[in-house]
Structure 1
Amino acid sequence: MKLFRNRSFILSLVVLMVAVFFVPSVVKITHALSEHEHLECKAFGELHIHGIELDCDFEDFNLSPQNHSYLVEIPKPLIIEIPKRITFQYTFLSKYQKLHFALRGPPSAS
């Protein structure tokens, strides 16, 4: 456990993790900006075959995995409304409760 308390060890571990996380992005960007040559086909309308690029590692790794699960339409659950029947008695006004009209009058009389 003393190894994890050392600040230089933790700092080097964080730098290593950040480097591992960002190396694919940096490699792909540097390849796209400096190394990769885009050939344009100028022979339109003619039957021809293009040569294969064997040294291009541009598509060997994927930075963002493709997840198209949001495109699948999920059916909504069937909701059946059951009409509610009133099966209890109206007990709001009881004989033990003061009614609203019993408090009418001046505040000193109540």
Structure 2
Amino acid sequence: MLRFKKHIALLSLFVLLIPSVIQLAHTLENHEHAVCTSINDHHFHEKELDCSLLHYQLQVFSYTTASNYAVIPQHFYKTTYNEQPQVISVVYVDKKLTRGPPYFTA
């Protein structure tokens, strides 16, 4: 059983690492990649058949937040307080019985 678990662990490690190995091998090849920096021109690129692995056009999404956060106005704060005193009641529970059980006479 232990030998079977070792084989499963080795196979799962191989399956998880093979995409990274392929991408690393592709990166270390000596070939040119043309980068298109044109923004205004509408044109088509020729499809490269020899180097199509792991080439995806990803869009970068950026979101900027507002830097001027409005302070909460004073009229949102409640300044009136309830002037009634709070009543605190203490309940004392004693588990000790003060007398014995009832005595029945027949």
TM-score bucket of the superposed structures, by smaller chain: 0.3 to 0.5
The answer to which structure has the higher helix fraction is: 1
Q: TM-score, normalization: structure 2?
A: 0.43
Larger RCO, structure (CA 8 Å, separation 6 or more):
2
